[in-house]
Amino acid sequence: MDNKEVVMTRARETLVSLEATPYYHCISRCVRRAWLCGEDPYTGQSFEHRRQWVLDRLQELVDIFAIDVCAYAIMSNHYHVVLHVDADKAKGMTDQQVIEQWNRLYKGHMLADRYLAGEVMSRAEWEALSELIEKWRLRLYDISWFMRCLNEHLALQANAEDNCKGRFWEGRFKSQALLDEGALLTCMSYVDLNPIRAGLAETPEHSDFTSVQERIEAYAERRSENKAKLGPKRQPTKLHPFKNGREKGSVKCIDFELNDYLRLVDWTGRAIREDKKGAIPSEFAPILERIGLNPDAWLTSVRHYNRNYFSVLGAIDRIKAYARTQKKSWHRGQRAVLRSYRLVMA
């Protein structure tokens, strides 16, 4: 459904800067005529079961890596994920934890196996193992390794089922840095509303294999458990959480109220489906203004996200600072950013 999602031709390490932001939007697309999910219109073969493959693997990797999933949408020939990198979590792991986590991905190394078994090691062996542990630690909060472990696993499953070999994915995944809260909210809404934009669903709660559907179901389950009790909203354990009403905001959670997000996405989805134009209802304006977004541009920002925003999204001052770290003078999409943000700092 998306023509030009994100343009990215530079080396991955120059685009991912954890000093600039821990949030990144990543997209992987199948090669021509390959089907990730859905039904192949040429053969009539259904691949719907593969959506669960993606979700199962995502949940497995979240348990291993120091990387959380904020949003996802699993479409017929591509998928979107919005990731949060928790570098401090990986840096805080003990050597044993690093080894154990890495062993869940790949066959254990001889030195690591000896260490876990409590065997006596020489100084040279310990130094060699220490280097390996630090390499694995870095990989446990590396987006490229996260995506590699996701895509290679899915490609092997799909090729085995199709009884074929060769490329399943269209080159390397595409990534987009999300530099502030406005960028994160806009991108997550865009990702969660992909099925509605594609005409595959009418409401977020009916948008299968999206994070917003998962959050809505968890929210509804919590309310049904005890409607009389007030307290933190139940949220999916495998998704990066929103703050709840008792928190002031934290770097370890998305700094929006879950209920506000669900209501905003619900209204936006209906507006997109009904092709509405104009400003959003006044009840949502303060939510957007608080994070510097222009309420009058909200619908356009989400509806035409893939046309307007490219390798980076955020307030113009943040984009300029990000560009300087990459020794660039500008990034594509700045004109759209000027329309989307209410406050523009020099």
Residue pLDDT, tens place only, 89-123: 999 999 999 999 999 999 989 999 999 999 999 99
Amino acid type, 313 = L
Q: Which of 142, 130, 127, 146 is nearest to 90 (CA)?
A: 142
Q: How confident is the model at residue 151 (pLDDT cuts 50, 70, 90)?
A: very high
The yes-or-no verdict on residue 212 having pLDDT over 90 is yes
Q: What is the pLDDT of residues 238-294, one digit of tens each?
A: 899 998 754 554 457 899 999 999 999 999 999 999 888 767 899 999 999 999 999
Q: Which residues pair with 243 in a beta bridge?
A: 257
41, pLDDT greater than 60: yes
What order of strands is seen across the sheet that includes strand 312-313?
67-74, 78-85, 23-29, 174-178, 312-313
Class of domain 17-89+142-340: alpha beta
The contacts found for 96-103 with CB under 8 angstroms, 24 or more apart, are: 98/133, 98/136, 98/137, 98/140, 99/133, 99/136, 101/64, 101/65, 101/136, 101/140, 102/136, 102/139, 102/140
Q: Which helix (H) or strand (E) holds 166?
A: none
From the list 101, 83, 63, the residue with the least C-alpha distance to 18 is: 83
Give which of 49, 86, 314, 80 is closest to 212, Cα–Cα. Answer: 80
Cβ 195 vs Cβ 75: under 8 Å? yes
Q: How far apart are CA 168 and CA 234, in angstroms?
A: 37
Q: Which pLDDT belongs to residue 40?
A: 67
Q: Are 50 and 38 in contact (CB under 8 A)?
A: no
d(CA 63, CA 65): 6
Give the C-alpha separation, 241 to 244, whole Å.
9
Q: Is residue 230 predicted with pLDDT exceeding 50?
A: no
Phi, psi dihedrals of residue 226, rounded to the nearest 5°: -165, 95
Q: Give the residue, 317 or 2, on which the prediction is more confident.
A: 317
**Distance between CA atoms of residues 244 and 251, nearest Å:** 13
Region(s) of the chain under CATH 3.30.70.1290: 17-89+142-340
Q: Supply the pLDDT for residue 32.
A: 63
Q: Report, as an integer, the average pLDDT of 38-52.
A: 76
pTM: 0.88
Give CA separation, 275 vs 93, 270, 271, 272, 297, in Å.
Answer: 49, 8, 6, 5, 15
Do you know the residue count of the chain?
Answer: 346
**What are the start-end ranges of the H helices in 226-292?**
258-273, 285-290
CB 205 within 8 A of CB 189: no
pLDDT value at residue 245: 52
What is the pLDDT at residue 237?
62
Beta bridge partners of 72: 81
pLDDT at 277 (0 to 100):
77
Q: Considering the chain, what is the average pLDDT of its residues?
A: 87
Q: What proportion of the chain, given as a percentage, has pLDDT over 90?
A: 64
| CA–CA dist 8, 18 (Å, integer) | 18
